[in-house]
Structure 1
Amino acid sequence: MNWKKLLCEKRRRGYSTTSVSDDPRNEFQRDYHRIIGSASFRRLQDKTQVFPLDRGDFVRTRLTHSLEVSSFAKSLGQMIFRKIVDYGMDSELEEQDIEKICSILECAGLIHDIGNPPFGHFGEDYVRGWFRRNLPVIELDGRKLADILSPQMREDLYHFEGNAQALRILTKLHFLVDENGMNLTYGLLNTIIKYPVPSTAVNKESGNIKEKKMGYYYADREIFEDIVSSTGTVGFRHPLAFVLEAADDIAYKTADIEDAVKKGFISYNKLVSELKGTYQGKCGNDSERSVLDEAVNRLEYYYGQAVEKGLSLPEQNAVQRWIIYVQGVLLRCASLSFTDNYLDIMHGEFQKELLAASDGRVIASALSDIASRFVFCSKEIYTLEIAAGEIYEFLLSKLTRAAVVYDTDIPSSTIDQLIMKLVSENYISAYRISSEGRSEKEKLYLRLMLVTDFICGMTDGYAKKLYMELSGIG
């Protein structure tokens, strides 16, 4: 791979032909303004990151999370590629490329979660499970849907993925001018494709990060192939996907701990105890142990300062300061991991996450594990997820039943016809364009995708409101 192709400025509707000759922005900076001005981006403000249906005034949303990831990604770009240029690690990389790379990463952080459905990661899990349970049961013209669909079509729904949905929204569903979505640059679109494999090639046991999840749907295979051939990443991850992933990891791992302490899921004392007792034995070398030990020392030091100053909530103050410190540590670790493995990354041979191959591995893992045990396994989260599950079960059942017979010769009920009228005209238009001239099998698949498209376009508030209205509640 080489940066001349990786920084591809091609757009689906063609290269930019701006008539403003004195516009100093590069193509990726133009992408930035397309993104922040879009309704798809604004909807992230009503999609929760962790606490579904929670209306607390400090809980992070997908929007605030995306802004944090954007900031971290741009910072990592500056740290990594300044070093690569200054130390002559890649003769093809030029000074002007640093600005382009940072612009791509800044934009990628903003849109990396734009395809996620309502109610956090729980929503993704529920959609996958619902289709696994129901495709083998629901019938169309006497045949089970699972038997009608091809293996990849079926696996797309069984492995439903917000990352793949993001590509779909950005290239098709965000219908503003035409069917080309936001018409973003290919260099940017390739950066958000974290898993460049179809649903039939997902292999979580392979040890190669690119095969952990699917990166694109069968419905979007043509645009995916055009993107990777244009950027020169066929069969590989775009190098900037590793950077985006690290920025995302740093943002959510540290945010989950901060939010957990604020909401009382874990105390300062318990956090210190866990860091000291549970993870020391998991350090594989002195460097990892040094990072962990220094982090614990910093946390205790910040707490001591807060007590000395007479702050009313010294535990929260200490953790908030500590989170900022840990973010800085992990940024440096991820940056060093990228430059240390630069050749393998550029040759498509690097198979891990950046943090997993760094001295910050243990502290990063500790943050995820603590959040998992003390937050995601709490009764409050279970209660919220049960409520979200009821909403998903109702909406998916109603929408799928209506969509299966939509655009067929099979008579549909008045209710099913009315339900399809609720679906956004943009999504219906995208279906009409994609299904033209397709086989009945493909049309069925695209109608099922129409269901997930509509669901993913919902905010938490809209999904709850629609559920209550259709079920006659309130």
Structure 2
Amino acid sequence: MAQERWAQLLEHGRLHGRRDDPFEDAATGRTPFDADYGRIAFSSAFRRLQDKTQVFPLAKSDFTRTRLTHTLEVANVGRGLGKAFGKHLRALGHLPVHLSPDDLGTVVSVACLAHDLGNPPFGHSGEAAIQEWAARHQGLLSAHLSSAEYTDVARFEGNAQSFRIMARLWDRERPGGGRLTLAAYGALLKYPQSSSHPRDRSDCARKKFNYVQADADLAEMVRAALGLTLHQPGHFARHPLVYLMEAADDICYRVVDLEDACDARLITKRRLCELLRPMLPPRFRGQSLDDMERLDVSALRAQVIGELIRAVMAVVHAHLDELREGAFPHALIDAVQHTEPDLYAAFEALGTEAKTRVYTDERVLQVEYAGFKVIGGLLDELLGALPPDLQAGEHLSNSGEKLLKMLPRKYLKVRPDPTFCRLVDTAAPADAARLLTPYERVLTITDYVSGMTDSYALDLYRVLTGVRVP
């Protein structure tokens, strides 16, 4: 019975696509999960992460992590967690016979590769900038959008945009977008609810949301196919592999943000060693800080990550049934506080140090503030080209017409309907805009801006505001 349940949770059929059988290609050994990995790694959305902020926006140093390098590190840790999880299932006799532990490692790493694709320029401050823009235009937007549709924008969420890219925007003219395996989408839905559901900080799955109203049908297809418990419409249980993707992200950003901060001279190497020492394996903890300072930071970081992975997997072993049904209410790393409180306290100290010494640094804040101006300015300009209240026969301003002509036509293809997409291709820009509903126009604006890299957003803002002439 357990094998059957896990076989459903690890379904390799594709969203709006066919199921690949046999599971493994006889000639290459390639599985559908391997194909998922390749689809993301070769995608333009993934490449754009190389110029998106992790912590330090528009950093000059090639040592400093971007979203791309962060994502690759998360995927590596996620693969290890997934493989260890698969070995545990196999030891219990729960792993479906056609799967190996490596397959679970691949599914988790695929979700890790995709988890930040929806982040707008300038990191989390970019999310806040879009939310602030929606609040500033609440009167106009609320007059033409439903309450739930307005909430999608007012609470703009990078996690929801990641799912939107993978399931809707990847190939706009076909249902299912990137058409990954259902297991991969399940492992990506970190907050399996829509924007209209209340947030609950005490439940790891309810802190945010993972899909907008326009993509609710896609999320429901994933839920139903994987057999995830429906709590109420638009609100369902987590997939078990989400917990591993989340843990990989939590471990990586907490540890490596401070490594970058050390390189940026926001904290000393000695201070970093002091913070990492309580999380090192026992054989390292007895070393003096002087001896630790002589070691390469990467060696210390690797040992710390290894210890955190070990602690997380101990939680997994103790709560497997709850994880299988998506009923475990905590992030795995937070549950470590109950099993290894000293290790967890040291992990939390990393976060406290980052909040007080890194995220508040003047260099970071200056660029983040500039990011607010850039993103808000771009959204304002695009609102003039795609106003939600555009009526049939109504003319746009001259500036709005020019900007609409600059907008890549693919962004207007918001419905996976070949007939609709042909109309968009052949219509004049303003007529193409009128084919969209008010909600679709607003999503087009946020899709376009959130997909930009930091540098492109800054350059386009300078051009549109007349600061620089191309």
Deviation at 1:203, TM superposition (A): 1.6
Paired residues for 1:52-91 under 5 Å: 52-86=57-91, 88=92, 91=94
- Alpha-carbon distance in 1 for matches of 2:64, 2:203: 33
Q: 1:398 to 1:78 in 2, by over 3 A?
A: same
For 2:335, give the aligned amino acid: A
For 2:278, give the aligned amino acid: L
**2:356 aligned partner:** 373
**1:282 aligned partner:** none
- State the Cα RMSD in Å: 2.8
**2:406 aligned partner:** 422
**1:335 aligned partner:** 313
Q: Of residues 264, 270, 290 in structure 2, which corresponds to 1:304? A: 290
Q: How many aligned positions are there? A: 439
Residue 221 (1) aligns with residue 222 (2): no
**TM-score, length-normalised on structure 2?**
0.86
Paired residues for 1:74-473 under 5 Å: 74-86=79-91, 88=92, 91=94, 93-94=96-97, 96-136=99-139, 138=140, 145-175=141-171, 178-205=174-201, 207-234=202-229, 235-271=236-272, 275=275, 292=278, 298=284, 301=287, 303-305=289-291, 314=294, 317=295, 319-358=297-336, 359=340, 360-405=343-388, 408-409=391-392, 410-430=394-414, 433=417, 443-473=437-467
Secondary structure of 1:415's counterpart equals helix
Deviation at 1:347, TM superposition (A): 2.7
**1:285 aligned partner:** none
For 1:265, give the aligned amino acid: L
Residues 215-267 of structure 1 show CA distances to partners (whole Å, capped at 9, x for unaligned) of 11000001110011001113210000000000011111111010011111112
- Alpha-carbon distance in 1 for matches of 2:282, 2:142: 52
CA contact (8 A) 1:176 1:182 kept: no
For 1:39, give the aligned amino acid: S
Deviation at 1:77, TM superposition (A): 1.2
CA contact (8 A) 2:200 2:207 kept: yes
Secondary structure of 2:414's counterpart equals helix
Residues 417-453 of structure 1 show CA distances to partners (whole Å, capped at 9, x for unaligned) of 22222322222122584996xxx99811111111110
For 1:115, give the aligned amino acid: G
CA contact (8 A) 2:270 2:289 kept: no
Deviation at 1:302, TM superposition (A): 7.0
Q: Which moved more, 1:115-124 or 1:424-433?
A: 424-433
Q: 1:294 to 1:269 in 2, by over 3 A?
A: same
Q: Which moved more, 1:10-19 or 1:459-468?
A: 10-19
Secondary structure of 1:211's counterpart equals coil
Deviation at 1:22, TM superposition (A): 2.9
Q: Which moved more, 1:6-15 or 1:398-407?
A: 398-407
**Could you list the runs of 5+ residues in structure 2 that have no partner in the other structure?**
230-235, 421-433
Q: 1:395 to 1:98 in 2, by over 3 A?
A: same
CA contact (8 A) 1:431 1:450 kept: no
CA contact (8 A) 1:48 1:61 kept: yes
